[in-house]
Amino acid sequence: MLERKTAPNISFLGLGLMGKPMASRLFAAGYQLTVWNRTASKAQPFVNLSVAVAETPCLAVNSKGISADIIFTMLEAGGAVDDIIRNILPVLKEGAILVDMSSTQQSEAKKFSTLLDEHHVGFIDAPVSGGVLGAESGTLAIMAGAHQHHYDQVESVLKVFGRPTRVGLPGSGQLAKLCNQLIVGGTINIVAEALLLAQAGGADPVAVRDALRGGFAESRILEVHGQRMLERNFIPGGQVKSQAKDMENILLAAQDAGLDLPLAEMVANIYRSLIPQFACADHAAGLLALEQHNPGIRLGVDVDILPPGMISTKN
């Protein structure tokens, strides 16, 4: 563990599904930490640990003569990140580095980088993949868009969360995350189709999944989301609304690059269709959209496990 008195001062803004375990890992690793969250009750576990909890974002990054060296943001979307950056900008010290680990648009990340650079503050867009389990275990894949000298200053801190990789200049991290989410969203839906095909054709979908593992079809999606589908467990590790947002950003990035991505458009439409009823369900709810598209065919016999307030529409 680090000596807290010699570690950089770190602020962590956003204590949601991902932010809470990530900030907890920083504290456990010995970093000097101040946290903030819009909904104050979510910060209570840090109060119990005697971690400094700020009432405002500005106080989280600059209070009582102590200024943050590194500021992490883990927020819902680019608009929220923009609001926070503009809020704290007047109190950021020169030479500080802001690391945004939210999932935003590539164009937004570039804008944040330019704005902060004008105030002599470094910027890194470092979105992650691995879900809540990865955040808790410190095994996240971290895709960082940064100038090399900024990345070198924070790499050791990023390793608390998992495996960081610098993928290019600011904005590149978000692009890499979109590539990740395109593969994730597409594969979730392919796994759902494969398991439902097994069910409809008379095979045991549990046994089919076991048979596929270890072959060329093996993947983390088949392992984790395939099991969730078989258990019909849609309690979120990652939410439908997050995947839907990512799919929209993928299409925007493709448009900016002059690309037509037909499969991405199909997957985006699936997640759009889930938003009205299953916005807060796990990504694996792609199975529910597929079942609604195939009335009378359902994977397994278990009752759907959904977040509070959600009711499944049975075939």
Enzyme catalytic residues: 177
Instruction: With residue 12 as reference, give the H or E element that holds it.
Output: strand 9-13
Q: How many beta carbons lie within 10 A of that of residue 260, not counting itself? A: 9
Backbone angles phi, psi at 214, to 5 degrees: 100, -15
To which residue do tokens 């009582």 refer?
Answer: 64
Angle, helices 240-256/106-118, rounded to nearest 10 degrees? 80
Which ranges of the chain does DSSP label H, i.e. alpha helix? 19-28, 44-48, 57-61, 78-88, 106-118, 131-137, 148-158, 172-201, 205-212, 220-231, 240-256, 262-278, 286-293
185 close to 194: Cβ distance less than 8 angstroms: no
What dihedral do alpha carbons 130, 313, 246, 269 form, nearest 10°? 140
Cβ partners under 8 Å of residue 132, min gap 6:
17, 18, 21, 236, 237, 238
Residue 93 gets which letter from DSSP? P
Burial class (CB in 10 A: 0-12, 13-18, 19+), 19: buried
**Whole-angstrom distance, CA of residue 136 vs CA of residue 92:** 29
